[in-house]
Chain A
Amino acid sequence: MQNWYPGDKEGKGGIFNFVTKRGKCAGRNSRISWTQVETGSAITWKYPSVLLIGDNSVGEFYSVAVTNNRQQADTGTKMVHIGANTKSTIVSKGISAGHGQNSYRGLVDVKRNAVNARNFSQCDSLLLGDRCGAHTFPYIEVKNTTSRVEHEASTSKIGEDQIFYCKQRGLSTEDAVNMIVNGFCKEVFRELPMEFAVEAQKLLGVSLEGSVG
């Protein structure tokens, strides 16, 4: 979880956060799972990656990235399939508010000997307001014929209808937005330990305060 200073409303004074994180699944049946929640920094570049060398090894990447005001987040992962029967899962949730920009940038690289490799990627973007942006750059390179690679992507705008529905049931706009955003992130949050998940939900609420209505 990273929540560096994002700067003022214009992003002035904010941290530029460039992170390098790599993991190596060297042995058979090994597994590495990255789960990240990015809410801070003026600009974030972060691509936690996994080298799947051992046969049957598993790599996972679960990500929630929130940008508000002038924040930019460019984040994703690299899954390099080298061993046989290696598997990877990528779930990326980007939330953009204000003038925030969110990019998913990821590479699924299946090498020649990675027979029966398997990847599933899902990139969902949620937009709050009409000045923010969401971008997806999925790179897929497959060098054998036995692998299966799937990529799903969606972009949705938080709907007036959804907010009105919540309000008609008695919830404030802020609570409605929090609820909708947290629902959107659920697949990632359930990968977190309970204490973290609670913190992550609150952090999201703070990051998006006043972004709608």
Chain B
Amino acid sequence: MSLLEVRNLHAGVQGNAILEGINLRVEKGEIHAIMGPNGSGKSTLAGVLAGREAYVVTEGEVLYQGKDLLGLAPEERAREGIFLAFQYPVEIPGVTNMYFLKAALNAIRKHRSMEELDAMEFLSLVKEKMKVIDFDQSLLNRPVNEGFSGGEKKRNEIFQMAVLDPTLAILDETDSGLDIDALRIVAEGVNKLRSPENAVVVVTHYQRLLNYIVPDFVHVLIDGRIVKSGGKELALVLEEKGYDWIRGESGAVTADAQEAGSK
């Protein structure tokens, strides 16, 4: 049983089709990169997996740990271990990062019939996780993402990921807006959190992030379809030749890729 299996997924927003038959299989312990030009449907895919209500699935299915994912509410997906690192993390004025995370973690623990952590236990967990991502303590007591720089917001996403310990993490353009140092710190954090028990799907526009988070598989998403899949070297070829190179190739490649993508 795969951790995640996407079969012939079609989805769109307000009647506009965006995803037109995605096939993808992710096993535990793997890192998958989804690359593609702007508007190819990368963020839509991330949004559909996380349960963003604006997207409507018109065809296909998604199995997560063998169970139907699309029937679950977003919070149920989160409690089952799916984590989305947002491209644009949202600000919640007046709610401290600490308070927010503790509520989130305890909601997840409750769902799994685990005992909720009290303030002291939570604090020691947080201290341990802060080291993973080199996270500044002062950000803990500030309102969620409010007044954070772009880099701090993205780092906060990875910090939340460290605390919530997801089984499937989806990073939606986590590299956008990051300078090279912040990029490295974020990527190192992701690498430290990697284990045989979890998997990461990295959605990105540029190859740059993949220098630091080395994927096992690279999928190229164009016009709502995965048109090519390969190993990490595919990202390098793309960097060199650009997306037009794939667009220029014949339809036969598309069929191959569909097959590879569904493997």
- Chain A contacts to B: CB under 8 angstroms: 159-162, 164-173, 175, 179-180, 182-187
Contact = CB atoms under 8 A, between A and B. Distances in A.
B248 interface: no
Interface in B93-127: 93-95, 99-101, 103-105, 107-108, 111
A164 B107 contact: no
B94 A182 contact: yes
A161 B90 contact: yes
A171 B50 contact: no
Given A164-B52, A179-B92, A170 B143 contact: no
Given A170-B75, A183-B93, 12 more contacts: A162-B91, A165-B90, A166-B104, A167-B73, A167-B78, A168-B86, A170-B164, A175-B103, A179-B100, A180-B95, A183-B95, A184-B94
Interface string B61-80: 00000000000011101110
Interface of B: 50-54, 73-75, 77-79, 83-84, 86, 89-95, 99-101, 103-105, 107-108, 111, 143, 160, 164
A180 B92 contact: yes
A183 B143 CA distance: 9
A184 B78 contact: no
A165 B157 CA distance: 11
A170 B78 contact: yes
13 contacts: A164-B74, A164-B90, A165-B89, A168-B86, A169-B104, A169-B164, A170-B78, A170-B107, A172-B107, A173-B75, A179-B103, A185-B94, A187-B94
Contacts of A179: 92, 95, 99-100, 103
Contacts of A182: 94-95
A145 B105 CA distance: 55
Main secondary structure of the interface of A (DSSP, over half): helix
B103 A167 contact: no
Contacts, number: 77
A166 B77 CA distance: 12
A78 B103 CA distance: 39
A169 to B, nearest CB: 4
Q: Which are the 3 A-B pairs with shortest beta-carbon distances?
A: A183-B94, A183-B95, A186-B94
A147 to B, nearest CB: 30
Nearest to A186: B94
A87 B91 CA distance: 32
B90 A162 contact: yes
B1 to A, nearest CB: 23
A41 to B, nearest CB: 26
A170 B95 contact: no
A198 to B, nearest CB: 14
B164 A159 contact: no
A4 to B, nearest CB: 27
Given A169-B160, A170-B75, A160 B89 contact: no
Nearest to B75: A167
Contacts of B83: 168
Contacts of B54: 160
Contacts of B90: 159, 161-162, 164-165
B74 to A, nearest CB: 4
Given A165-B86, A183-B143, A170 B104 contact: yes
A124 to B, nearest CB: 9
Contacts of B105: 170
B94 A168 contact: no
Given A160-B53, A170-B78, A165 B108 contact: no
A152 to B, nearest CB: 14
